[in-house]
Amino acid sequence: MTHEHWHGCGIVRREFLQVGFSGLLGLTAGSVLQGRAAASLAAGSVRTSTPKSVILVFLTGGLGHLDSFDMKPDAPEGIRGEFKPVATNAPGIQICEHLPGLAARTDKLAIVRTFSHQHTNHLNATHQLLTGHPQPGAFFDKIASRDDYPCYAGALNAIRPRADGVPSGVMLPTYLMEGPLLWPGQNAGFLGPKHDPWQIRKDPNSSGFREDNLRLPDGFSVERVDRRRNLLDEISAQQEAWGEAVNRSNTTKDALSGQREVAFNLLSSGKVARAFEIQNEDPRTRDKYGRHMFGQSLLLARRLVQAGVPVVQVNMGRVQTWDTHSGNFKSLKDRLLPPTDRGVSALLDDLASHGMLDDTLVVVTGEFGRTPKIGSSTGNNNTPDGRDHWSACFSAAFAGAGVQGGQVIGQSDRMGAYPASTAYSSADFAATIYKVLGIDPEIELHDRLQRPIQLCKGSPIAPLFDRSIG
């Protein structure tokens, strides 16, 4: 896959042109936006709560839980690692010394220490975490396909489509792909490309980060677009009158009308375009996040949620950034934990200062953890200072959207190898995301063969929202 057709913000130029120009002509709005005006694929959808937003901070490659949120200072030397635990502002909770910002905000965090699933391959595990389902026909390095389950934004868009020009989901600033390997879990899977989230593939910290192609083309104004819309309405009326003669179905007519309306909304609204104008943000706010890709991507996530995007996934690095088979402690200490700590801390403060934290779930997780025993192997080559993949037990941190902070949910065993209390699955993780989005996890979707498929088979993690449970 080449990148020469991607505009300054990373959205496919071809798809934008379909929206911007074919839409103005009343033709297809392109695969990115068709689903905004489409009918819901799941009849009788039920909202389980007032819908909120989700920012998923994805540590692609897998953060070692023993080196972050579930430290084992009393474990043997070959297990506990080089880092020291520090006290947090939540009594009785300790986390890694290299997460001082989050330690000062642990009263806002609920740390789940007993996530567990079966996949230790990056691609399979990523699908597992980003959809809540095992990848269909999973094998080692099975790449994405349209038989996969949908990501959270894709499912949301199919169940609750929108026609206001605001996408249901955005993933940024990197696309999880390496050579021929395309990471699954990044799109709408069997629901089809019309429900895919937007993919932004450029560093928001770069001087060239722009959103020019989300603006009206030169020479166009909102008034001119409206005049074209009125003209197209007249043409549509004629098409309707001719419909019987050309045997055009109402379904096709309605779909075209909806796609055209989405194109107009996108081009005339400007809400999403303004969210990308990160250079207009207060420089002091930008500094708090950190002038690096991690920090500015998290700031952009806040701006997108503020513009109405309900699901934003921020990839902290590229496909295997957190895959520390060698130099685990040096990599975490020098280049991974500090910018993530600073950026996520600023995000929590920023959301709170904007009155958005109560309505926005922030989740920090990788697709799995790392081996308790340093230098051991689960199938890969590791140096004596590396940790391999480990999915039997790992941690994630949650904040906002009603999450009761200042607590730890679940306990791993003495070595951090397996859950010593209730284990939570990726399906439970997904059900929690859907609960926050106001979607019933048991809702029924249909695959490409129109077979009924339950959206999610897990249960929301109740202790996150009610301390008395669990």
**What are 122-161's pLDDT values in tens digits?**
999 999 999 999 999 999 999 999 999 999 999 999 999 9
In a domain, residue 83? The reply is yes
Residue 372 and residue 308 share a domain? yes
Task: Please give the Cα distance from 151 to 195 (Å, whole number).
Answer: 10
pLDDT band at 214 (very low <50, low <70, confident <90, very high): low
pLDDT value at 189 more than 70: yes
Residues 6+ apart with CB under 8 A from 254: none
Residue 259 and residue 129 share a domain? no
pLDDT band at 219 (very low <50, low <70, confident <90, very high): low
Q: Supply the angle between the helices 152-159 and 426-437 in degrees, to the nearest 10.
A: 40
pLDDT value at 447 more than 70: yes
What is the mean predicted confidence (pLDDT) over 299-315? 97
What is the mean predicted confidence (pLDDT) over 291-304? 97
In a domain, residue 40? The reply is no
Residue 136 and residue 173 share a domain? yes
CATH number at residue 201: 3.40.720.10
> Of the candidates 135, 263, 247, which has an alpha carbon nearest to the alpha carbon of residue 190?
135
What is the mean predicted confidence (pLDDT) over 200-214? 79
User: What's the pTM?
Assistant: 0.83
pLDDT band at 47 (very low <50, low <70, confident <90, very high): very low
Residue 170 and residue 298 share a domain? yes
In a domain, residue 37? The reply is no
**What are 320-343's pLDDT values in tens digits?**
899 999 999 999 999 999 999 999
Between 169 and 42, whose confidence is greater? 169
Of 47-51, 343-347, 387-391, 415-419, least confident by mean pLDDT is 47-51
The backbone torsions φ and ψ at residue 293, rounded to the nearest 5 degrees and listed phi first, read: -60, -45
pLDDT value at 245 more than 80: no
| Residue-wise burial string across 140-173, b where 16 or more C-beta atoms lie within 10 A, e elsewhere | eebebeeebbbbbbbbbbbbbbbbebbbbbbbbb
What is the mean predicted confidence (pLDDT) over 370-379? 94
Q: Are 340 and 61 in contact (CB under 8 A)?
A: no
Write the DSSP symbol of residue 424.
B
Residue 241: what pLDDT? 59
In a domain, residue 337? The reply is yes
% of the chain at pLDDT higher than 90? 71
The number of folded domains in the chain is: 2
What is the mean predicted confidence (pLDDT) over 94-110? 98
In a domain, residue 470? The reply is no
In a domain, residue 469? The reply is no
pLDDT value at 430 more than 50: yes
What is the mean predicted confidence (pLDDT) over 109-113? 98
Residue 202 and residue 222 share a domain? no
pLDDT value at 253 more than 50: no
Tokens of 221: 């104004």
Q: Are 363 and 398 in contact (CB under 8 A)?
A: yes
Between 101 and 49, whose confidence is greater? 101
Domain span at residue 222 reads 1-30+216-269
Residue 24: what pLDDT? 36
Task: Please give the Cα distance from 96 to 64 (Å, whole number).
Answer: 11
pLDDT value at 29 more than 60: no
What is the mean predicted confidence (pLDDT) over 85-113? 98
Residue 136 and residue 105 share a domain? yes
In a domain, residue 18? The reply is yes
CA 213 to chain centroid: 23
pLDDT value at 87 more than 70: yes
Residue 238: what pLDDT? 62
pLDDT band at 212 (very low <50, low <70, confident <90, very high): low
**What are 266-293's pLDDT values in tens digits?**
555 577 888 999 999 999 999 999 999 9
Q: Are 278 and 299 in contact (CB under 8 A)?
A: yes
Residue 32: what pLDDT? 34
Residue 73 and residue 101 share a domain? yes
Residue 157 and residue 73 share a domain? yes
pLDDT band at 230 (very low <50, low <70, confident <90, very high): low
Residue 233: what pLDDT? 60
Residue 371 and residue 228 share a domain? no
Residue 149: what pLDDT? 97
Residue 236: what pLDDT? 58
In a domain, residue 275? The reply is no
Residue 457 and residue 399 share a domain? yes
Residue 292 and residue 429 share a domain? yes
User: Residue 210, CB half-sphere, CA atoms under 13 Å: how many?
Assistant: 8
Residue 390 and residue 338 share a domain? yes
% of the chain at pLDDT higher than 70? 77
Bridge partners, 412 (sequence order): 419
